[in-house]
Structure 1
Amino acid sequence: MSSQVIIVEKRSDFRWPDPDKRVMTAQDFIAEGKGPFHRPRRIVNLCRGYDYLSIGYYVSLLAEARGDRVTPSVETITGMQQKSACAPKLASLGRALGPLGAVPRSVDAMSVQVYFGQAGDAELAELATRGFETFRCPLLAIDLERLDGGEGWKVANLRPLDPRDIDVSRDAVFLDGLGRFSRRPWRATPAASGPRMDLAILHDPADPMPPSNLQTLQAIGRIGQGMDIAVELIEKKDFSRLTQFDALFIRETTAIAHHTFRFARKAANEGMPVIDDPDSILRCTNKAFLSEILLGNQVATPKTLFVTRRTLARFEGGLAYPVVLKVPDGAFSLGVKKAESWAEFEHMARMMLKHSEIILVQEFIYTPFDWRIGVLAGEVIFAAKYHMSEGHWQIIQHDGAGGHVEGRTQAVAVEEVPAEVIGPAVRAARLIGNGLYGVDLKQTRSGVVVIEINDNPNIDIGLEDAAVGEALYRTLLAHFQALVDARHRALPARPGMTGPSPGPKLVSSRPAAPGPLAPLRETGS
């Protein structure tokens, strides 16, 4: 049976073609139960209604109990029946309405039918999309009323729609909506078995510095096809479609107050394997956390102290320059400054403290390149040398106009990386979790120090993969497949599972490398 199943009360309720035999009656669905090797499916519940304890209600209830991903969910069904809870959502939905100039002035009320977020009318497109995103009900009737004075409209009510109420003249709109939701056309084609896994890759086509460029993402899709894995690129606007997939791979720069974190949290809550998982994002996007966890587990790092507005004055006369100042949640070398004197340090620190309650001051260690070690589930999968931008002390040099220049990336075979680099990288990554991390390290005469751990490491064709080739992407895809298969075997599926839980904290035996910032530990708070 297909990985997506449509449930109707009577077979005649679905009058459209069903080439892959994806349509099933509610009675058959309820009777089939859950076998010992049940693989979760995407269930579309098109029953005639969802009243409490109705057949439509039980379809969603039992689907969730079996570990299936069902639309609408029981939470959606109960939420739509609580009028007081719906009122604010209806008011918010009304803001998506335009003037509807094509509607005659004599019409004061009307009902809009929405099928999987599609209404078939450009003026109603935003209303239809937001209605489906907000209520996640496949078929909706949205009742509209004119505002007092005749200018503008409001959403008066919203209710599930019986599939039998879809007029034949609207079949094309319905099939288009169903096709978009199913991610394949709904037409008479030879039946084919579905892929082993549906992987969503979240990306931003407008990002000037993405962790993976479009060419790389397209290559992942091509390689996935050969592994019987369907890969689809999604964007921020596809949040409502997330649960259609088996797993999520985030290829955008992550942040807490950002849609990437909402995607990660939603996926984890649904039990979907996700990279990056919410915990990894929380831990890696804040340099203050990383500094504390590395120091607390005796992983060698540059000597680091925290600076606040109250403690700033204590650092005068106590630093060996140059020093590096960092905003805890900066990315891509943004929010990182180098001070050559107390005057520069004080000025930079005061500017940074306007935007962050805490900043980090760190000893400056120059090396011509940083090691980047890619670690997946505690195993090294790639390695590279990130050379400093020419004439600059960082890998990425930003200019005042928003542009940037990057240093050279030199891929290195994993077996050629010194053991003293591999060891700290793996230990550091395991302190964060079992996801995908890029660990940055500096190799000095005094030893190897971990600079930071990135939850969203760059991976691009011809750069990080140059020493490994397509095997790098096969490893990533196989990891997702293993997590999805494990989830399918679980009885029952565990919400929030993002892969195996992190192992015990490992303690490095190497002390922090000595450096010119030693007096900091005496003057800081």
Structure 2
Amino acid sequence: MSNAVILSRYPELYSSQRLLAALQERGVQAQILRPELCALSLAGGHFHLHYAGKPLAPPAIVLPRFGSPLTQLGQRLLQHFSVLGSVLLNRGDALLRARDKFLSLQLLAAAGLPVPDTWYLADAAAAEQALAKLGVPVVSKLLAGSQGVGVNLAESEGGARALVDTLLLLQHEVLLQRFLPGREDYRIIVLAGEVLAAMRRRAGAQDFRSNLHRNGTAEAIPLDHLDSRLQNLAITACAALGLDFAGVDLMADGHGGYTLLELNPSPSLQGIETVSGVDIAAQVAEYLISRCGAASAALRQQSTPAAAP
């Protein structure tokens, strides 16, 4: 069967290995490539791929599994693969939209979806306005980050000002959000407009972040018990950002509804598979194989000469 490439800076990680095994179990010749070892070239209007100094034939299937630090590189790789006809699990433009925390909120809000009150700014004077509107506690976030890295809580006005000053000095821009009370949130995995699994996460005693990588705990939510509002929000949010596959994080808004926190286009499979017992890797592999088959059939159909009348 067609070959597949998983782009992962850390091939040993659980998610990369699970996806590799799921593809191989279905007869796909799959391998993990480190994105930083890929090189792209344009010659005479043609696109070429290279890996570790050698030519690389375009794979039929590409699964991006790289983190935020490689987003720009990854987007360019995915654009190259797309032009060469590879079937992608999330396009490069969708990846960029999801990885930019403020851009993604803009697009979700423009689609009429609930997001936290948020300020994006690059000036200390604007920070005073933002803090006056948002109050304290207030949450600051790096524009790119995952697994809770770069998310901070300031519980006093003095602490908030010091945090903003530091962020402006280091990165020249700040994202501030109104703090949502409560120590629980929801992670919902969506693939091709369908919810595969869901879990409720609770922050640890010493942290306000619920990420499992930050010592949070989780319990599965059977899909027949999942609030339909959560399910619909997760599916609609993925569509708004153009994502085929994502982990969608939501939280109760304190008024009987829910608000979207962010979408992760390369969600970790370890926590959700362990907690829910759902074989997400298998469903991703099946989806990509079916898309690859449909694309091949469409290509064959386009290249078949029409019958003479």
Q: Which TM-score bucket, shorter chain as reference? A: 0.7 to 0.9
**Does residue 284 of structure 2 align to residue 485 of structure 1?**
no
Q: CA deviation at 1:336?
A: 1.7
Within the alignment, does 1:453 sit opposite 2:252 as a pair?
Answer: no
Mapped to 1, the partners of 2:26 and 2:140 lie a distance apart of: 45
Give the aligned residue type for 1:486. A
Q: Give the corresponding residue for 1:476.
A: 284
Of the candidates 187, 190, 205, which is equivalent to residue 10 of structure 2?
A: 205
Relative to structure 1, the CA distance from residue 493 to residue 284 in structure 2 (aligned partners, 3 Å threshold; closer, same or farther) is farther
Q: Secondary structure at the match of 1:311?
A: helix
Deviation at 1:440, TM superposition (A): 0.2
Q: 2:106 aligns with which of 275, 285, 292?
A: 292
Deviations 1:483-522 (A, max 9, x none): 212221234899xxxxxxxxxxxxxxxxxxxxxxxxxxxx
- Report the equivalent of 2:77: 263
Give the structure-1-normalised TM-score: 0.50
CA contact (8 A) 1:250 1:260 kept: yes
From the superposition, tell whether residues 316 and 413 of structure 1 become closer, same or farther in structure 2 (CA, over 3 Å): closer
Counterpart pick for 1:218 among 4, 8, 17: 17
Work out whether residues 302 and 450 of structure 1, in 8 Å CA contact, stay in contact via their aligned partners in 2. yes
Alignment of 1:243-322 (within 5 A): 243-255=57-69, 258-309=72-123, 310-315=125-130, 317-322=132-137
Match of 2:160 among 331, 345, 358: 345
Q: Which amino acid aligns with 1:377?
A: A
Q: Tell me if structure 2 keeps the 8 A contact 1:201–1:231.
A: yes
Query: What is the letter of the counterpart of residue 217 of structure 2?
Result: R
Encode CA deviations 1:23-66: one digit per residue, 9 max, x unaligned: xxxxxxxxxxxxxxxxxxxxxxxxxxxxxxxxxxxxxxxxxxxx
What is the distance in 1 between the residues matched to 2:156 and 2:15? 43
Letter of the aligned partner of 2:174 in structure 1? I
Higher relative contact order (CA 8 A, sep 6+): 2
Structure 2 residue identity aligned to 1:473: A
After TM superposition, list the pairs within 5 Å mapping 1:36-435 onto structure 2.
Answer: 196-205=1-10, 214-236=13-35, 237-239=37-39, 240-241=50-51, 242-255=56-69, 258-309=72-123, 310-315=125-130, 317-396=132-211, 405-435=214-244
Return the offset for 1:339. Answer: 1.6
RMSD: 2.6
Matched with 1:464 is: 273
Q: What one-letter code is carried by the residue in structure 2 that aligns with 1:490?
A: A
1:315–1:480 CA distance, 2 compared to 1 (3 A) = closer
How many angstroms apart in 2 are the aligned matches of 1:272 and 1:407?
37
CA 1:324 to 1:269, structure 2 compared with 1: closer, same or farther past 3 Å?
Answer: same
SS of residue paired to 1:352? helix
SS at match of 2:276: coil
1:413 Cα deviation from its structure 2 partner: 2.4
Cα 1:361–1:409 change in 2 (3 A) is same
Distance (Å, rounded) in 2 between the aligned partners of 1:363 and 1:375: 26
Give the 3 Å change call, closer, same or farther, for CA 287–214 of structure 1 in structure 2: closer
1:319-346 deviations in Å (ceiling 9; x for gaps): 4211111222232222222122222122
Q: Quick one: structure 1 residues 454 and 257, their matched pair in 2 at CA, closer, same or farther if it must change by over 3 Å?
A: closer
1-structure distance, mates of 2:290, 2:17: 22
Could you say what secondary structure the match of 1:199 adopts? Answer: strand
1:372-414 CA-partner distances (Å, limit 9, x unpaired)? 11111211112122221332101249xxxxxx74312333322
CA gap 1:485/1:371 in 2 versus in 1, 3 angstroms:
same
Looking at secondary structure, tell me which structure has more helix per residue. 2
Higher strand share: 2
Q: Is the 8 A contact 1:370 1:441 kept in 2?
A: yes
Q: Secondary structure at the match of 1:360?
A: strand
Q: Assess, with a 3 A threshold, how the Cα gap between structure 1 residues 243 and 316 changes in structure 2: closer, same or farther.
A: same
Alignment partners' CA distance in 2, 1:232 and 1:256: 19
Cα 1:258–1:450 change in 2 (3 A) is same
Q: Deviations over 1:234-261 (max 9, x none)?
A: 2232551453421111222144654323
Matched residues, percent identical? 21
